[in-house]
Amino acid sequence: MIRFLITVIRRDVLLAARRRGDWLTAQFFFVMVVSMFPLGIGPEPTMLRLIGPGVVWVAALLACLLSLGRLFADDFRDGSLEQMLLSPYPNSLLALGKALAHWVINGIPLLLIAPVLGIQFGLPAEALVILVLSLAIGTPILSLLGGIGAALTLGLRGGGVLITLLILPLYVPVLIFGAGAVEGAMSGTGSEAHLSLLGAFLVMSLLVAPWISSLALKISVE
Amino acid sequence: MNWESWEAFWAMGGYGLYVWGSYAMTAACVVGEIWLLRRHRRLSLATLRRLQRLNP
Amino acid sequence: MNLYYFASPATFYPLAGKLVPWFALLAAALCAVGLYISFFVAPTDFQQGEGYRIIFIHVPAAWMSMFIYVVMAFWSAIGLAWNTRLSFVMARALAPTGAMFTFVALWTGAFWGKPMWGAWWVWDARLTSELILLFLYVGYMALQAAIDDPRRADRAGALLNLVGVINIPIIYFSVKWWNTLHQGSSVSLTRAPSMAMIMLWGMLIMALAAWMYTIAVSLARARTLILERERQTEWARLQLEGQA
C-alpha cells in the first residue's frame, strides 16, 4: 500500500515537473497577490507589519485554490482516474497520495517564498520562522481539504471559482490559527497554542479528508 | 399599549430607520421568496405541460 | 399507516399539497401574535430604547438559519445512507429558505449594530460565523446548480452539506478565538439586554412562526422539484393534465 501511495505521489510530481509552466504560474500568482496589498493600502511600515501575516496567509490560500482545479481533472479527462479508482487499493489512499503530491508541488514552494515576502512586509526574524512553520503545518491541510472540493467539482464548468466558493469556509479555521500564530509571535503572546491547534487540524485532516475525497470521487465519476 | 400616538410608533424612539429598515427587509425577503417560489412553479408547470403535449 | 408510504414521491406530493396551507396559516397566526407582542406588549428596554425590538426578527432568523442547515444535513445523511430521492429533494428545498434567513440575520444584525455600536458591521464571532454560514448555503446551491446530472448533484450537495455541518462548530470556535484575540473588550451583539420574560416569549413565538413558514415554503418548493424530476411517471403526467 505504501508503494501505491509513493507511486501516486511520484507520478503527479513527475507530471508537474514536465509541465513547469503551470506550477510556476501559481507561485508567481502568490508573489503578485502579496504585492498587491501594499499597493492598495500604502507602504507604511508599521501597518504592513500588522497585516503581513494575514496577507501572506490569504495569498497562500488563494494560490492553493488556484492549483486545486487540476488535482483530478487531467486524469479524469483522459480516463486514467477511473482506472485508478478501480485498482485494488482503497480510493482514500489515492486521494491521500494526490493531496500529498499537491502539497509537494504547490505547498513546499510556498514555504520557500514566504520568508522573502515576509521580509517585504518587515516581519522580524522570529515571526518569519513562525510564518514558515505555520505554513508548513497549514499547507498540507489546505491540500487535503482542497482535495474534497476538487473531487466534488470534477469536470464541472466554472470549476476554479466554484472550488473557491466551496472550500474557503473550511479554510477559515486554518487561516485564523495560521496567521494568528505569526501574530502571536510578533506580539509576544506566543504561538504554541495556535501551532498545536493547527497540528491537531492536520492530524484530523489526514485521517478524514482522504476518505471524504474518495466518497466525492465516487459520486463525481459514476 | 406602549405608544401614545401613531407618530411615536413610527418613530420608535428615534430608532425608526433601524427598526423599520429591519422589519421591511424581512417582509421583502419573505414576500420575495414566496413570489419566486410561485414563479418557479408556474414556469416549471408550463414547461412540463408543453413537453407533455409534444410527447404524449 | 406505514410512514414509509409517504417516502414515495407519488404519495408525498398530494400530502405535501394538503399540508402547505395549514402550515402557512399557522405561520401567519404565530407571526401576528409575535408581532403584537414585539410591538405592543414588550416594554421599552432600559439600555437600548426601542431599537432592541429588532431582536424579535434577528434572533429567530439566526436560530432558523442554523436549524435549517442542520435539518438539511439530516436529510442529506438519510439520502446518502438509504438512497431515497425524496430526502435529497427535501434538502434542496430547504436551502434557499435557510439562505434567506441567514441574510435576514445579517441584515438585521447590521441594522441593530449601527445604532447600538455605531458601526454597520462588527466582526464579532456570531455575525462573522453567520456570514460564513451564508457562504456555506451559497456554496451548496452553486454546486447543485453547476451539476446537470440530478443524481450526482443530489449526492455531491449532500456530501458538501455534511462536511459543512461538521465544520460549523470548528469554524465557530475558531472565529470566537479570533474575535476575542483581536477585540479584547469586545462590543458584542451577543451581550443582549437581560431578558424580560416577555421578550423571550416574543422571540420564541417569532421563531415558531419562522419554523412553520419554513415547513410550508419548503414543502411547496419540494412539490415543484418532485414534479420536475418525476415528469416521466404516470402519476406526474396525470397531475400535470389535471392542473391544466
Q: What ipTM was estimated for this complex?
A: 0.89
pLDDT given for residue C3 in this prediction: 65
Q: Is residue B6 part of a domain?
A: no
pLDDT given for residue A145 in this prediction: 96
Q: Which of residues 58-117 of C touch A (CB under 8 A)?
A: none
Contacts by C179-182, CB closer than 8 A, 24 or more apart = C179/C123, C179/C124, C179/C125, C179/C128, C180/C125, C181/A180, C181/A183, C182/C123
Chain-chain contact of C104 with B18 (C-beta, under 8 angstroms)? no
pLDDT given for residue C243 in this prediction: 64
Q: Is residue B3 part of a domain?
A: no
Per-residue pLDDT for A110 more than 50? yes
- Runs of H (alpha helix) within chain A: 2-18, 20-41, 45-68, 70-77, 80-86, 91-102, 108-120, 125-152, 159-187, 192-221
The angle formed by the CA atoms of residues C152, C153 and C159, to the nearest 5 degrees, is 90
Q: Is there an interface between C and A (3+ Cβ pairs < 8 A)?
A: yes
* Domain, as residue range, for B34: 16-54
Provide the shortest C-alpha distance from residue C54 to chain B (in Å): 6
Chains in contact with A, counting 3 or more C-beta pairs less than 8 Å apart as contact: C
Mean per-residue pLDDT for A168-183? Answer: 95
Q: What is the pLDDT of residues A50-94, one digit of tens each?
A: 999 999 999 999 999 988 988 898 888 888 898 889 888 999 999
The lowest-confidence range among A39-43, A49-53, A54-58, B23-27 is A39-43
pLDDT given for residue C233 in this prediction: 87
Question: CB of B8 within 8 Å of any CB in chain C?
Answer: no
Domain layout of chain A by residue ranges: 2-221
Confidence grade of residue B2 (pLDDT, cut at 50, 70, 90): low
pLDDT given for residue C185 in this prediction: 41
Q: Is residue B7 part of a domain?
A: no
Question: CB of C155 within 8 Å of any CB in chain A?
Answer: yes
Question: CB of C178 within 8 Å of any CB in chain A?
Answer: yes
pLDDT given for residue C236 in this prediction: 87
Q: What CA–CA distance (Å, rounded) separates B30 from C243?
A: 26
Chain-chain contact of C177 with A180 (C-beta, under 8 angstroms)? yes
Residues A125, A73: contact at Cβ < 8 Å?
A: no
pLDDT given for residue C195 in this prediction: 66
Chain-chain contact of C217 with B52 (C-beta, under 8 angstroms)? no
Q: What CA–CA distance (Å, rounded) separates C225 from C90?
A: 9
Chain-chain contact of A158 with C135 (C-beta, under 8 angstroms)? no
Question: CB of B26 within 8 Å of any CB in chain C?
Answer: yes
Structural domain count, chain B: 1
Q: Write out chain C's pLDDT in tens, 244 residues.
A: 566 777 888 889 999 999 999 999 999 999 999 999 888 888 877 777 778 889 999 999 999 999 999 999 999 999 999 999 999 999 999 999 999 999 999 999 999 888 888 888 888 888 899 999 999 999 999 999 999 999 999 999 999 999 999 999 999 888 888 887 665 444 445 545 556 788 888 999 999 999 999 999 999 999 999 999 998 888 888 888 876 4
Q: What CA–CA distance (Å, rounded) separates C57 from C140?
A: 25
Q: What CA–CA distance (Å, rounded) separates C22 from C37?
A: 23
Mean per-residue pLDDT for A33-57? Answer: 92
Q: Hey, which of A33-47, A149-163, C118-132, C203-217 has the most confident mean pLDDT?
A: C203-217
**Which chain C residues are Cβ-neighbours of B7 within 8 angstroms?**
none
Q: Is there an interface between A and B (3+ Cβ pairs < 8 A)?
A: no
Q: Is residue B1 part of a domain?
A: no
Q: Is residue B32 part of a domain?
A: yes
**Which chain B residues are Cβ-neighbours of C243 within 8 angstroms?**
45
Optimal mutation site among C35, C36, C54, interface B, most CBs of chain B within 10 A: C54
**Which chain A residues are Cβ-neighbours of C171 within 8 angstroms?**
169-170, 172-173
Q: Is residue B2 part of a domain?
A: no
Chain-chain contact of A172 with C163 (C-beta, under 8 angstroms)? no
Q: Is residue B9 part of a domain?
A: no
pLDDT given for residue C186 in this prediction: 41
Per-residue pLDDT for A123 more than 50? yes
Optimal mutation site among C214, C215, C224, interface B, most CBs of chain B within 10 A: C224
Optimal mutation site among A57, A134, A144, A165, interface C, most CBs of chain C within 10 A: A165
